[in-house]
Amino acid sequence: MHNKLVVFKNKEIRRTLHNNEWWFSVADVVEALTDSADPRQYIKKMRQRDPELESYWGTNCTPLEMVAPDGKKRATNCANTEGIFRIIQSIPSPKAEPFKRWLAKVGYERVQEIEDPELATKRTKALYRAKGYSDAWIEKRMRGIAVRAELTDEWKNRGINGEPEYAILTSEISKAAFGLTPSEYKNLKGLERENLRDHMTDLELIFSMLGEAATTEIARRQDAQGFGKNKIVARKGGRIAGEARENLEKETGGKVVTPENYLAEPESRKRLTRKKKG
C-alpha cells in the first residue's frame, strides 16, 4: 500500500491505496469537518445518534495500516469515497459541501494517475512547492521516493513480508547510516506525526538515498533471500552511507545529522534555504 497525505483547508488527511482506490482516515475527515479536539469521541457519539450509520459501520469502514500521530504504524478506521460520503451525512457542518467536491476531485485524480502515473509525480511536486520547499530539495525528495520504492520492491521479491519487517530493515539502515533509528531521528527533529524525510536537509536526503540504494545493490549481488540475510545486507548498505557521512564530517568539521526541520512557515523555510545556499 502507498500512504500519502492530502490537504483540505490546511487540514492533513491520511489516505492509502487499498484495492486500487483511495481510502481515507475517518478520524482525519471528522477532524477536518468539525474542528473537534477529540475526533474519536465525536465519531462514537455520531454512531450513537445515527443507528443506520452504526448498523453499516463495519461495511463502510475498514481498518488499514497508517502512520499514527506518534509516528508508529497502526490499524486506522478508513473508508473509501462512498463510505466517507455516508459518514458526512451524519456531520452537520457547513464544510460538508466543499469537502464533498474536494473528495470527488481527489477520487477523479486517482483515476487519472492510474492512466498516467506521471501525473502523480507532478502533483506531489506541486504539493511540496505549495508548502514552500525549494525545487532543488524537491528533486532530491522525489529521487529518494523512487530509490525507496525500488528497495521495497526488491525486499518483496526476496521474501520480506511487508510491515513490520520493512520497518525493522529500514531501522537497520538508518542506525548504520546516521547512528539513529527513525524514531530517534524524529525525536531529535521534534517531529510527531510528520514524515521524517519531509524534514530532512539536502545532505540527509542524499545519505538516506545512498544507504537504501547500496542495500538494494548488495541484495541483488549477493542474492539475499529471507529476512535474516536481508537484515545483514541492510546493515552493510547503511554502513556504506555511514562511512561516507563520517568522511564528509571529518573534512568539513560539520555534522550531517541535524535537529533542523521544516515545520516553519513557508516564507521562513525559504529564508532558511537561502541561508544554507549562502
pLDDT at residue 16, as a whole number: 86
CATH number of the domain residue 65 falls in:
3.10.260
Spatial contact of 252 and 115, defined as CB atoms under 8 Å apart: no
Claim to verify: residue 141 and residue 267 sit in the same structural domain: yes
Q: Are residues 31 and 167 in the same domain?
A: no
Closest among 124, 126, 138, 122 to 273, alpha carbons compared: 138
Q: Does residue 174 sit in the same domain as residue 96?
A: no
Residues 201, 65 within the same domain: no
Nearest to 264 by CA among 256, 272, 254, 276: 272
Q: Which range of residues forms the domain containing residue 211?
A: 124-277
Which residues are CB-neighbours of 146 under 8 A, at least 6 positions away? Answer: none
User: What is the per-residue pLDDT for 274?
Assistant: 45
Whether residues 59 and 157 fall in one domain: no
Of 115, 136, 165, which one is at a domain's C-terminal end?
115
Tell me the C-alpha distance between 234 and 170, whole Å. Answer: 7
Q: Based on the domain organization, do 226 and 89 belong to the same domain?
A: no
Are 32 and 134 within one domain? no
- Verify that 106 and 128 share a domain, yes or no: no
Same domain, 53 and 98: yes
Output the tens digit of pLDDT for each of the chain's 278 residues: 445 666 777 788 898 878 767 888 999 989 988 878 898 899 999 999 899 889 988 888 999 988 887 777 888 999 988 888 888 888 887 877 788 777 767 665 665 555 566 666 777 788 788 888 999 999 999 999 999 999 999 999 999 987 789 999 999 999 999 999 999 999 999 988 788 999 999 999 999 999 999 999 999 999 999 999 999 999 999 999 999 999 999 999 999 999 999 875 454 444 444 444 44
Question: What is the domain count for the chain?
Answer: 2
- pTM score above 0.85: no
Helix, coil or strand: residue 159: coil
Residues 163 and 258 in one domain: yes
154 shares its domain with 107? no
Q: Which of 92, 115, 138 is the last residue of a domain?
A: 115
Within this chain, do residues 139 and 77 fall inside the same structural domain, yes or no? no
